[in-house]
């Protein structure tokens, strides 16, 4: 836990070597940002299993899955149980929350989106080592659950682990992290040294066929009691 005002904010650690999966139109953007810029509030979104996106229709046009591995232990705010906070906490107007909608953060080289959570500037200033958050997205898990019921996920569903949050929602969690190991305080150009990133690219794998199942069989080590996998080479 870390203190912010009168709030106790729960923090968890994503271990070094954790597998991270991302469907993205331009994989190079994960290392180049937006127009070669990383703002301080930049979020890169991952799932902990590659088959979650098969149930979310806005990924349908992306043919490949990008596989990454965490290059260091990453400290993130927990928005899943037993935390009392959720992805929706950014909308709470009754008290000063440590998170707000990204559209309420300062102007940057990336136009912030209202439906994504971001940290308050004052929270980031006090906690520069907090590099992201883990949460459940309501629309995502509803879409994924419907796809499972319809048999669209198939064999891959056995690799998807679920969690709950304070809203009593249950589904696969999403991870949002700042790309770099040290969060900048202003817009910066992306570094050319890839060792500065929180993630390393492992593979590009077609989403069709059994290639992803084969990858999970050979390279994904379940972490007991957790919802994520460790990479085994």
Q: Give per-residue pLDDT as tens, 165-180.
A: 999 999 999 999 999 9
User: Distance between CA atoms of 112 and 71, rounded to whole angstroms?
Assistant: 26
Chain center to CA of 124: 18
Domain membership of residue 48 as a residue range? 2-231
Which tens digit of pLDDT belongs to each residue from 77-105? 999 999 999 988 877 765 568 888 888 87
| Percentages (nearest 5) of helix, strand, coil residues in the chain | 25, 30, 45
User: Distance between CA atoms of 110 and 80, rounded to whole angstroms?
Assistant: 27
- pLDDT tens for the chain, residues 1 to 233: 888 888 889 999 999 999 999 999 989 899 998 888 999 889 999 999 999 999 988 888 999 999 999 999 999 999 999 999 998 887 776 556 888 888 887 777 777 677 788 898 889 999 999 999 999 999 899 999 999 999 889 899 999 999 999 999 999 999 999 999 999 988 999 999 999 999 999 999 999 889 999 999 999 999 999 999 999 98
Domain count across the chain: 1
Query: How far is the CA of 111 from the CAs of 25, 42, 231, in angstroms?
Result: 18, 10, 34
């Amino acid at each position: 836990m870390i203190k912010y005002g009168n709030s106790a904010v729960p923090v968890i650690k994503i271990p070094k070597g954790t597998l991270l999966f991302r469907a993205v139109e331009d994989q190079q953007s994960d290392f180049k940002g937006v127009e070669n810029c990383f703002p301080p509030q930049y979020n890169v979104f991952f799932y902990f299993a590659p088959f979650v996106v098969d149930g979310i229709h806005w990924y349908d046009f992306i043919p490949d899955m990008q596989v990454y591995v965490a290059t260091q232990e990453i400290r993130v705010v927990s928005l899943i149980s037993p935390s009392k906070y959720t992805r929706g906490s950014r909308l709470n107007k009754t008290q000063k929350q440590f998170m707000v909608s990204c559209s309420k953060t300062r102007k940057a080289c990336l136009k912030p989106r209202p439906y994504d959570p971001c940290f308050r500037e004052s929270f980031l200033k006090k906690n520069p080592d907090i590099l992201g958050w883990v949460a459940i997205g309501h629309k995502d898990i509803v879409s994924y659950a419907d796809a499972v019921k319809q048999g669209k996920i198939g064999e891959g569903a056995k690799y998807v682990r679920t969690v709950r949050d304070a809203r009593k929602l249950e589904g696969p969690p999403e991870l949002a992290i700042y790309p770099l190991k040290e969060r900048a305080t202003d817009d910066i150009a992306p570094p050319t040294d890839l060792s500065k990133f929180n993630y390393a690219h492992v593979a590009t794998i077609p989403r069709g066929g059994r290639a992803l199942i084969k990858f999970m069989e050979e390279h994904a080590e379940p972490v007991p009691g957790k919802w994520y996998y460790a990479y085994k080479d």
